Structure 1
Amino acid sequence: MKLFLLLVIWVNTCTSLTLPSTFTKCDKRKSDFNECLSKAVQNAISQLAKPMEKYNLPSFEPFKFASLSPKSGKQIRSSSMKFKNYRIYGHTKINSSKVNMNFEDNTLTIELSHPELRYEIDYEAKGVMMVLPFDSAGLVTVTSKNPTYTLKFTLEQFVKNGKKYLRVSGTNMMIKPESMTFYYENLFKDKALNDEFNKEMSGSWKEILANFAAGYMDSYAKVYGDVFNHFLEVVPLVDLFEGVQ
């Protein structure tokens, strides 16, 4: 099965495709280009409840990836915590979108607001927290209310088989939620203690998000940059936009 998937990806990277018929192609020459692009991006993402394997696009319901790499080895409190198997639900439900494509500095900025995003992540934890030793594993659920994701992709052109393509050379990301809640299952055997810990975590969501951004946001942004790159590998520049050469 893995060999088949690798073969599909290899064939796709060697074959140029036009934009999916259900996607909107915007005209760079028109004054409402970025407005068109905002609607086009929102429309495209809303279709990713199922993968588009032909275009190397995964499902966004849920959006899955294995792990994130920290910028520096940080510990949470007096413990060692490891996270894997990220599943994110809610990406295809979008309240508003704002997209700007700057052809002069080759950047694409995408701002998306969602009613809710839910993250389900497997964790392993060992150490001491609140003076209590623990050694546990399970599921952590993070619920983010009304988050706004801002992704800025730095792009560069290259030529393949006589056609111009774009690729992502850098990605920056910011996340601004209205609120966040955390729930670790089975972190502590005592349910009352476990609930109290989760309540404390949820009350400190701003600090936790800031710590996450400092240590993991670059790695998280790269996950989306890689997804976008896989799509750009198979669709030439002239098939992404009208009015380009």
Structure 2
Amino acid sequence: MWRPVFLMFALISHSLSEELPSYITPCSRNVPNLNECALKAAKESIHKFALGDKSRQLPPLDPLFVEDITIYIPNENGLKLIFKENYFHGLSGMQVESLKFNFEKRIITTEAIINLDVANKYDLSGKLMVVPIRSNGDSSIKLKNTDLNVRMWYEHYTGDDGKLHWNITKHDVKYEVEKAIFKLENLLGDKNIGDQINKLLNELWKEIVADVGPLICQSLTKAVVKSLGTFLEQVSFDEMFPE
């Protein structure tokens, strides 16, 4: 879910140019163990890249902000839960497990594992056991061991510098979350009711993730792609993958 672009963090890790930041490690595109070199470089650089680079106008990616996430429990006739002001922490700690480049087909594939802690606020309304309720306050979500599998297709274009640059044309993402944990604070000012609702949320975590996962993935990916795109405009294909 969250993530095709994570892959490109690794792309950033294979350049040979004085213009590139010090945390970027070069890998020649002609070495026989390119994928191994790229994976090592990605692991070394992703933390720094996710924290942002002001000198290149790259904003921090950790945390990432997502506005509203709305879910219904168990459906629209039950409870409506809106998570607001969502701050996703954890991208800088992502573990890249594999990274493969196919220059002939112009496809990049990657697998990564990430743990996300989300700090947010909630607004709960609806009915619980036919009793109307309304509550709001602080909340949090933990997404544990999210396994991301990403494919990205790209093409080249000639930049103003006369050199070839990257352009990601499409991507697809598959994800699997090992566990999601929800916690809503001070529900209706009643600990018993609060415990009951939190228990219900955590019993239905798979259904909730299936419902809001695509939205979360799209929001996170959009932010990362924007930052990555800014970086890619600054370097050429040959700088990233020298002969």
TM interval, shorter chain, is 0.7 to 0.9
Q: Alpha-carbon deviations, 1:157-214, whole Å to 9, x = none?
A: 2222112211233233233232221112234332221122112222222222112235
Q: Tell me the secondary structure at the aligned position of residue 27 of structure 1.
A: coil
Provide the aligned length of Structure 1 versus Structure 2.
Answer: 223
Aligned residues of 2:66 and 2:86 also touching (Cα < 8 A)? yes
* 1:153 Cα deviation from its structure 2 partner: 2.7
**Which letter does structure 1 place at the counterpart of 2:41?**
A
Structure 1: which 5+ runs fail to align?
1-15
TM-score by length of 2: 0.77
Q: Distance in 2 between matches of 1:89 and 1:136?
A: 25
Mapping for residues 81-92 of structure 1, pairs under 5 Å: 81-92=81-92
* 1:143 Cα deviation from its structure 2 partner: 1.2
Mapping for residues 15-164 of structure 1, pairs under 5 Å: 18-48=19-49, 50-60=51-61, 62-67=62-67, 75-76=72-73, 77=75, 78-114=78-114, 116-161=115-160, 162-164=162-164
2:211 matched to which residue of 1? 211
Q: Distance in 2 between matches of 1:239 and 1:69?
A: 40
Q: Tell me the secondary structure at the aligned position of residue 188 of structure 1.
A: helix
Q: Distance in 2 between matches of 1:154 and 1:132?
A: 51
Q: Distance in 1 between matches of 2:22 and 2:140?
A: 36
**Which letter does structure 2 place at the counterpart of 1:196?**
Q
Residues 84 and 26 from structure 1, CA distance in 2 versus in 1: closer, same or farther, beyond 3 angstroms? farther
Q: Distance in 2 between matches of 1:157 and 1:34?
A: 20
Aligned residues of 2:42 and 2:96 also touching (Cα < 8 A)? no
Aligned residues of 1:89 and 1:118 also touching (Cα < 8 A)? yes
Q: Distance in 1 between matches of 2:196 and 2:80?
A: 20
Q: Distance in 1 between matches of 2:110 and 2:59?
A: 18
CA RMSD across the alignment: 2.8
Q: Percent identity?
A: 27
